[in-house]
Structure 1
């Protein structure tokens, strides 16, 4: 595990409100004049190892979002996630969140976004990591609210915001409900990913591809019809896989059927991600380690290829992307690519 911990990594799918560590979360409650011990938060903010469904998993998030509605709180949250990632060798991390779920009457969505951007600036000054922010439109919210999120993504694109997403309960709110919003995003030049195929609906993946998504969050349902993989490969689409979360929520029913190996054999580009570091009690090191133990032996070279594919799919300007790829190539020269992770 020490070798894996030291390997340079890239993470593309990490939710802010699911990844604030328990110590920082306890501090956020203190800022609000509330008392929540880390032991209390362990029960409320961490999901069971096996959830009944995605809905049960999502119940953990309000514990955090309810104490993020100030500039200081947002900065503490971003710093918490950046610190965790930097400590395990993550060189580039994209953090996503819904400004709508954090806003209050006294703290607007725009103030939420501005505070997160300030948090990114501070985190990058303190830790050896680069960050990008993805704004999430949310399933179940009004089109007007989601259009405001889209507008904020357009306004702050290139100033810390790197892309747009749609998240939430996919089983209740399929992709066609967001078609017009994504077409508007595409017309405005805002790159976007989309949570799709996490709850068994392959059509959501195909719709997201059709609307112009450059990545797919989870995409597990693609296993139902691998013939569709050719279209994703042709379009250069990467799947943001989150193994531990995918087993928790039932997106995959067992490690024996988890499609990581099949997707790679098919030639699909995949990234490995935590999804929610706190809710899933995970780290990127644990995600790779679990895959190695449960799905099939991985080598340092496998991690390198996945990391490189992730960097290639990052929502970065081309010059910055090339610099990141060069940084990774040089860093991995210090490792034996044929070596086992164990």
Structure 2
């Protein structure tokens, strides 16, 4: 079925409308989205005394300022603090449950949240126990969200660190928990000096198992990282992929020419998991108005909008959309386009993606458009 939006869908949406439309999130790090108060409380429970402050409000500000500092050392330090309080089953359950509730309250109806199990073993948990604790937390958070009237479904991506040597082990873990809450695999960490081709055994294993994976690529290192992720490793999606803009030239008269790699990414509908605020913090884009997402949307790349690290960026998916609406004048129709792109690109079965698009996302956007237009309901064409 194809939805018919009202003319109000072509007007700039309000912040409240953006929050209430159904949204889809594909790139969100569990250890980058903790509530400051949860960090403080968990730190007290496990005896971690390394926090810069135990005042939740001040701690939230510290995380954002550290991420904005331009210092890679200080930015990485932020994750040392969040991971330090995610070393017990109880801590992991709580963080995952909080995450599900927070995303649902922001209007996210489907999310894929990623984390690296190997970073949560310091207090004796096994890799399997980490996965089971996170899954338990997400199911708990989904139930709490539903009780509050917010529907959400969360799948997890298991991440391997590209500077480490456990990628095959983590890929096997992802396959073991497939259909038990885990929907795919990812590698993350510094791109420079750590090419994805170091982990070919993991990617080859996943392909043999017909499993899904995305790769952080084209965030900082550029086109070679994107090319390797796609052509050497066979990634289904690109985590960020913002540097694909380097293969697109814009003439003074406005004419656009795509290089061979950019053309391949567009024509093959490779999903780009773009995270605007995070990209500004890492220097991958100078401003929202100059973010490559504007041109890539015009050229009909398979662009999706994401949060990356909600705590460090002081953001939510609604805020990311608000920034883009302000920068590019996007309408509800544009936001629906981004959202359906993301849902089409999710790592769950096709029929389940289609059901969410037709039964949740399109009707949700229609309701908001109808409210804005003062119409009671909108028709759905067959």
Kept after mapping to 2: 8 A contact 1:51/1:249: no
Instruction: Tell me the residue number matched to 2:331.
Output: 299
Query: Is 1:37 the equivalent of 2:59?
Result: no
Checking the alignment, whether the CA contact within 8 Å between 1:44 and 1:63 is kept in structure 2 is no
CA distance in 2, matches of 1:149, 1:44: 32
Distance 1:159 1:108 in 2: 17
SS of match in other structure, 2:310: coil
Q: Which residue of 1 aligns with 2:87?
A: 69
Q: Which residue of 2 aligns with 1:250?
A: 283
Aligned residues: 337
Report the Cα distance in structure 2 between the residues aligned to 1:47 and 1:129, rounded to whole angstroms: 30
> What residue is the counterpart of 2:176 in the other structure?
155
User: Does 63-72 or 26-35 show the bigger shift?
Assistant: 26-35
Q: Does 1:136 align with 2:169?
A: no
Highest RCO, 1 vs 2 (Cα 8 Å, sep ≥ 6): 2
Gaps in structure 2 of 5+ consecutive residues: 1-14, 146-150, 249-258, 374-382
**For 2:337 and 2:229, how far apart are their aligned partners in 1?**
25
Classify 1:264/1:53 alpha carbon distance in 2 versus 1 (closer, same or farther; 3 Å).
farther
Q: Is the 8 A contact 1:196 1:219 kept in 2?
A: yes
Report the Cα distance in structure 2 between the residues aligned to 1:155 and 1:214, rounded to whole angstroms.
Answer: 19
* Aligned equivalents of 2:329, 2:66: Cα separation in 1: 26
Q: Highest Rg: 1 or 2?
A: 2
| Equivalent position to 2:198, from 177, 180, 189 | 177
1:241 to 249, 268, 274: 274
TM-score between both structures, scaled by the size of structure 2? 0.83
Deviations 1:171-225 (A, max 9, x none): 2312222223212211122200110000042111111112221111111110110
Alignment partner, residue 279 of structure 1: 312
Distance 1:43 1:299, change over 3 A: closer
Please tell me the root mean square deviation across aligned C-alpha atoms, in Å. Answer: 2.0
Which residue of structure 2 aligns with residue 123 of structure 1? 141
The answer to which of 58-67 and 169-178 deviates more is 169-178
Question: 1:191 and 1:95 mapped to 2: Cα distance?
Answer: 14
The two structures have a TM-score, normalised by structure 1, of 0.93
Aligned partners of 2:66 and 2:78 also within 8 Å:
no
Deviations 1:132-185, CA, capped at 9 Å, x for gaps:
00000102112xx22211111010011100000010111231222222321221
Partner residue in 2 for 1:82: 100
How has the CA–CA distance of structure 1 residues 51 and 266 changed in structure 2, closer, same or farther, with 3 Å as cutoff? farther
| Cα distance, 1:334 vs structure 2 | 1.0
* Residue from 112, 118, 125 that aligns with 1:94: 112
Q: CA offsets per residue over residues 93-134 of structure 1, 9 Å max, x none?
A: 111000011112511121111111111221222212100000
Structure 2: distance between partners of 1:47 and 1:173: 27
Aligned 1:298-337 pairs, distance under 5 A = 298-326=330-358, 327-336=360-369
Whole-angstrom distance in 2 between the partners of 1:155 and 1:187: 14
**Unaligned stretches of 5+ residues in structure 1:** none
Q: Partners of 2:28 and 2:331 in 1: how far apart?
A: 24
Specify the alignment match of 2:238 in structure 1: 216
Whether the aligned pair in 1 keeps the contact of 2:97 and 2:139 (CA below 8 Å) is no
